[in-house]
Amino acid sequence: MSWLWLEAALPLGIIAGMLCVMGNAQYYIHRAAHGRPKHIGNDMWDVAMERRDKKLVENLSAPSPN
């Protein structure tokens, strides 16, 4: 009777391990595709600010017309 918990712990460990493997796979695939880790909780405001920042950096790094 004392080893009965092991019968449930083994499948639980397998499931938890597979969830970790899937999460890490998504992380590394996204990082390889985009060059940086995924930002968690990005909403429309964050996307707009990221686009604005990128545009500002491009404008500053462009050669001046003078």
Q: Above 90 in pLDDT, residue 3?
A: no
Q: Above 90 in pLDDT, residue 4?
A: no
Q: What is the pLDDT of residues 40-49, one digit of tens each?
A: 888 999 999 9
The Cα 28–Cα 66 span in angstroms is: 44
Give the CA dihedral 50, 56, 61, 63, nearest 10 degrees.
150
